[in-house]
Amino acid sequence: MIMSSNMSARATLVTNERVINAASSFNEDDANYSVLDLYDDDDGDDNSSLPEQKEILTTRELEKAKAFTSLIMADPANFDRYGFSKKGYFVSQEEYDKWWGEYSRYSERRKKKWENLLFKNRIEVHNDNPLAYPARNEELTKFVRKGIPAEWRGNAWWHFAGGQQQLDANIGVYDRLKSDCRKGAVSGKDMEAIERDLYRTFPDNIHFHKESFQSGEPAMIQSLRRVLMAFSVYDRAIGYCQSMNFLVGLLLLFMEEEKTFWMLVIITGKYLPGVYKSDLEGANIDQGVLVLCIKEYLPEIWSHIESSYMNGNGSTNQVSGPRSGEQYLSRLPTLTLCTASWFMSCFVGVVPIETTLRIWDCLFYEESHFLFKVALGILKLSESEFLESKSQKLFRQYSSYTFGGNSDPVSTFKKLKNKIKTQEEADMEILQVIQNFPKRLLNPNDIFEKVLMKKKVALNSITQEKIDQGREYVAMTRSRQRATSRPK
């Protein structure tokens, strides 16, 4: 249930206490619970309501608030509707507020359109959380790409991903796994790794924060532990892999524990097969597919990767095999060291939260090929930034060439070395651009409207079938190259 927007001028502390009460009553039995219920419908006027809020806080209350949380935690103006800190290393509070002012209006407009769509299809918007959606068609695809209303997401993801079918076929399994866990079924290694990461999952989110409002462990941390431990027993070949903590953490903000568990099963089994297994081969295969996509759809970036590769900057943990045209599928280019985590965490923490959620809307509706589209979209958007940095290098190189004096063999050799150095430098800059650029993608529409929803952008012709074929091809090529390069 979402509070009406005229309630958003309530006192800070009251809001926090509501969070406290609701959060401490959050347990395994709360079906269909979403943290969004804890927040007022944010209409973007936080700033204007601030002075009023401050007046209401008495010294005693303020001290109480401080005791509950650190000072920053006592101020909901600092946290978004999911409990994440608005401010980050790459986004200032001012930037956030300016963007949110616009984006929250966009979200409201979209929600009205969704309501109309459901009405047209005679589907009830049950308690502001529809349980059903129209059959897949082009119109619905368009709607999903423009964003599912935040309050509806949990059920919508569950619906589109086929969670219910998964659950219906496995009634009682999650409960059994939990009881197995209590009896010591979790391996020592997984248990240690999971425990280590619990408080390292969304430390800037109020629901996962250790020293926040509760004396004991936050309910979210407990759920996170149960889901990860149960999964480690359910799929022993995967156990626990870092990044799964982020997937589960985000799911838990939108749906209850058991559903979260089955969504994790769907992500790790259907969308990203083999990606989290102990050899991470599925992750390498996906990076190989991404490289093939770059080659096909982003020729400028590809030519850079290729020249970098020729200069020996391809990364490797493989011994060299017979030279084939596609060695880069085994010895993945350095760039993939950055992009691998994009896939493993399904962009959680890679892009700001609203952009992540828009990507997840499409992931559950359109399956994994959408992750490839997003990765290519980000690379395409950052292209101008990094091609610029490359052209600067070329300019510098050209200048040194012109002013470099004589042309004896030694200095020619030096120039060649300079060129390699420049290539290396350019590589470094590109890696930084690729890593930092997505962190500033605060506005989902900067990638959705500008790239992913444009028909004429070539990369949008990628289909799930094509990605699945690519995965098969890369898997085969890699295993062949491995076989031929193995010392006899």
Partner 1 sequence: MNTSVTSIKLVLLGEAAVGKSSIVLRFVSNDFAENKEPTIGAAFLTQRVTINEHTVKFEIWDTAGQERFASLAPMYYRNAQAALVVYDVTKPQSFIKARHWVKELHEQASKDIIIALVGNKIDMLQEGGERKVAREEGEKLAEEKGLLFFETSAKTGENVNDVFLGIGEKVPLKKEEEQNNANNERESNSKRVDLNAANNGSSTNNACSC
Between 109 and 404, whose beta carbon lies closer to partner 1? 404
Between 275 and 447, whose beta carbon lies closer to partner 1? 275
Give the one residue of 199, 214, 326, 419 binding partner 1; rule: CB under 8 A.
199
Give the one residue of 51, 405, 409, 487 binding partner 1; rule: CB under 8 A.
487
**Are the CB atoms for 372 and 289 separated by under 8 Å?**
yes
Interface stretch with partner 1, choices 6-14, 17-25, 304-312, 394-402 (CB under 8 A) = 304-312
Give the one residue of 182, 210, 396, 454 binding partner 1; rule: CB under 8 A.
210
Number of Cβ within 10 Å of residue 74's Cβ equals 22
The residue whose two tokens read 């509760």 is 214
Question: Facing residues of 40 across strands?
Answer: 3
Number of Cβ within 10 Å of residue 281's Cβ equals 14
Residue 203 interacting with partner 1 (CB under 8 A): yes
CB proximity list for 321: less than 8 A, separation 6 or greater: 327, 330, 481, 482, 484, 485
Give the one residue of 46, 151, 197, 366 binding partner 1; rule: CB under 8 A.
197
Residue type, position 375, single letter: A
Between 166 and 308, whose beta carbon lies closer to partner 1? 308
Shortest Å distance, C-beta 420 to partner 1: 7
Residue 224 interacting with partner 1 (CB under 8 A): no
Buried b (16+ CB within 10 A) or exposed e, 45-72: ebeebeeebeeebeeebeeebeebbeee
Shortest Å distance, C-beta 431 to partner 1: 5
Residue 245 interacting with partner 1 (CB under 8 A): yes
The residue whose two tokens read 């349980």 is 131
Binding mask 466-485 for partner 1 (x = CB under 8 A): ----------------x--x
Give the one residue of 31, 319, 394, 476 binding partner 1; rule: CB under 8 A.
319
- Ramachandran angles phi, psi of 424, nearest 5°: -60, -45
Residues 434-463 touching partner 1, rule: CB under 8 A, are: 435
Residue 417 interacting with partner 1 (CB under 8 A): yes
Size of the site for partner 1 (CB under 8 A): 54
Compute the distance between CA of residue 6 and CA of residue 261 in angstroms, rounded to an integer. 36
CB proximity list for 404: less than 8 A, separation 6 or greater: 411, 415
Residue 278 interacting with partner 1 (CB under 8 A): yes
Number of Cβ within 10 Å of residue 409's Cβ equals 7
Give the one residue of 345, 355, 382, 443 binding partner 1; rule: CB under 8 A.
345
Two tokens, residue 326: 């596609």
Between 142 and 196, whose beta carbon lies closer to partner 1? 196
Q: Which of 237, 308, 227, 225 is nearest to 275 (CA)?
A: 237
Chain positions contacting partner 1, by CB under 8 A = 89, 193, 196-197, 199-203, 210, 241-243, 245-246, 278-280, 309-310, 312, 314-320, 323, 327, 331-332, 334, 337-338, 340-341, 344-345, 349, 414, 417-418, 420-421, 424, 428, 431-432, 435, 482, 485-487
